[in-house]
Structure 1
Amino acid sequence: MRATFQRVAYFILLGYLIISCYTGFIIVKNKVWKEQIQQEKYRKMTELAEEDRAWNPWGEEFDNERTVLTRHEPPNIVWNLDQGREPPSSRVDNSKRLFNVEVWGKASIGLYLWQHILEGPLEERMEGVWSHGTKTINNIKFTFRTGPGVVPDQVPKETEHLLLVLNGREPDKITFAKSWLTSLDTLPRLQNVGLVLLGNEQCNNSWLHPYMAQNGGRVKFAFLVYDSPEIDNKFYYQWPLGVATYRDFPRVDSSKLPVHIKRKYSCNFLGTVYKNSSRETLMKILEGDFFRENCYVKPRYRWLPEENADSREEYIRLLSQSDLTLNPVGQNTECYRIYEAISYGSIPVIEDVRTPGICGKSETSEPQVFPLRLLKDHNAPVIFVKHWSELHDLIENEKTLLHSERVKRRRNVLLWYESFKSKMRKTITNVISTHFFGVDR
């Protein structure tokens, strides 16, 4: 009897060992299999990132954007990074409810909106195929996405509320922007759409009208760069051009700028001189000995879309070492240089003239405030000139200022810019709250 019991015990132990070994084999096999899948996926993503390395995500040159849509299969991105999010059905009070708003940046001004205005973080994913960041302001959780991997076929299909950033400056950019607006019909849960648009420099944005909600489209509001006549502060709002993020212009921590140090130059101009423009007039004025002694001037006569590290460093150094920065008009009176100078406490001297096009009077502003209505409405600390012949007297006046007066002025410029960005942040969040969620702030 005892022998029989021992035999049964041996059989049970043997069976347990066999089952344990088999289970261990299955676990190891599955782990190896999953690692192989992950390695293969990583290899494919790496190859994809290598293909897109030449793509310029921040520039005004978006020629490769349409190529991204057709050249290869976009990566299958797992977009939902929020774990344990409360079901929408359990939220009833819109004033206390946390809303999720997607922000998709498909133009260079998207980075200015996200990093400089909303002050959101940004992290690269898949070696730059797409970049991501989240930030909560009031009761809105913003999720920002940008990069070549952000294409209509691969955006989060569960998106309900969307702020889209597009470029409508030129015909090919408009075609690309239209393709994005048309693609929104494929999002089954989409309820609200807003737009931040780098508008046409002549303010001809009529192509956008059919996409607006008041005309039967999906876009409930649009923030437009430049003094477009559509701006009514009901459906169309104005947005600043900001700094040239596509040239990697940095985020400047104004609290760390040495504003008390004497600056080397009274004024500076480093930029492209276009034929038959007022910039040619400015260059003739700057040729005199008086300006050579007081200002740093370095023109170039061919526009370059790219900057290298040396030229960018030189430009930033000039801004930080100049009391004034000269801003002759280009295709539009508003230019990146205005905001870039202000961010370093250098006063922009702006040619206060209107450029060709239909930029100008709208229902909400008097004609005499144009151009640069947004800066004038916010009392920007800039100097306006009607003609560059005024520059000599302006520099002479600068030479009479005490150093303490210059330091105080720099501090005021930097404080104004921080306040301006804060106001723009408040404006866009309020417009989203009102148009999307019916919450007035």
Structure 2
Amino acid sequence: MSTTSEPLKRVIVTGGSGYIGSHVIFALQETRRYKVISIDNHHNSHPKCLDRVAQIARDALPKDASEQDKDTAEIDAHACDLTKPDEIRGVFERYGKGGIWGVIHIAAYKAVGESTEKPLLYYANNVGATVSLLQVMSEYGCTRMVYSSSATVYGTPPIIPIPESTRLKADSPYGKTKVMSETVLEDLCTAEPERWRALSLRYFNPAGAHPSGLIGEDPKGRPGNLLPLLAHMAVGRVKDDKLRVFGNDYPTPDGTCVRDYLHVIDLAKGHLLALTALADDSKVFDNCPTAARYKAYNLGKGNGMSVLQIVEAMRKATGYDFKYEIIGRRRGDVPDLTADPSLAQKELGFFAGQDLQTMCRDLWNWQTKNPNGYDTEAPSPAAAQQPTSVPAPQPTAPTSDEPKSQPISSIASGPTAVPTTA
């Protein structure tokens, strides 16, 4: 996309070196309209990721790129803990009052299971950090936010697919932190309608990776979500002999939980569309019932996939013969979370066009090119153009130093934990 003559808008992405954050940065850089500032404490992300994203942006520049175009390919990265207001303030101070156009807030603890065991940790981090961030934004005249929320705000929804008008009744502390953060945003927009405008994105399960294989999902420790766990099993990083599935007695076609998966690139473009809709000339708030310029949108495909369907899709993509066993349900899990994305399609122009086969292919391309994640040497530009195909290892029994289950600890990577594995 060609640049305009307008100056670049500075945009902060919290959790910028995480899985979703890095792909959102890619989407922003692709427009060449934004100067991206990443805030991340690297609790569950990798600083090397930002080097990879910048490489993708540089490689996409035309030979006659302007200096402004070149500037969009470089990321201002700041190590910052959002639970420490002084650290947030230090970042904003670098750019001065009015120096930041908007914020895309992604960073959060995100594991449903862990949140039921450590609720105070989740409330302090997810809600407290959001309040601190908003307070500092207000101090520096930055009053636009895209908030990465989650489908878990709906709890067990009465209607599938889920419309945005569904009552918010989260079943887990993680989901409740998202409800609370949305409530804070809506109250702020209501209190100061002439200053604030915000959009919450209730999205479902992101999957896949950038097709170059340069960036993808690389959780620290044992993955807590289904698809990266399957990829780690197939590539040999997780040596479990079986996948443990939490429950097969849910009211779904095969008894396992159903989730609305969407490609992470489609999700990132949804964030870009939401950011664009915060511009002064945006029409998305014209039909708001009050003066508050706040809305929530579902981002998803509108059709869900069950745990066992995902396993089968990854079996085809990887050639790995996954074995699984059914164990009891996990507290906090919801049977079906499938989006009704029609409002986002109508008002934002959002469409999640990439299918499950593509998600699994791109995930496996990332994993095989980076078997050790970001600790793997980056693929060369030539290698990054071609999908990699390597024989998948066969299942092996767990070793004594790699237990079958570990505590989940994750931050800055996205919305829902998938109800499948430890």
TM interval, short-chain normalised: 0.3 to 0.5
Bigger proportion of residues as helix: 1
Higher relative contact order (CA 8 A, sep 6+): 2
Q: TM-score, normalised by structure 1?
A: 0.32
Q: TM-score, normalised by structure 2?
A: 0.33
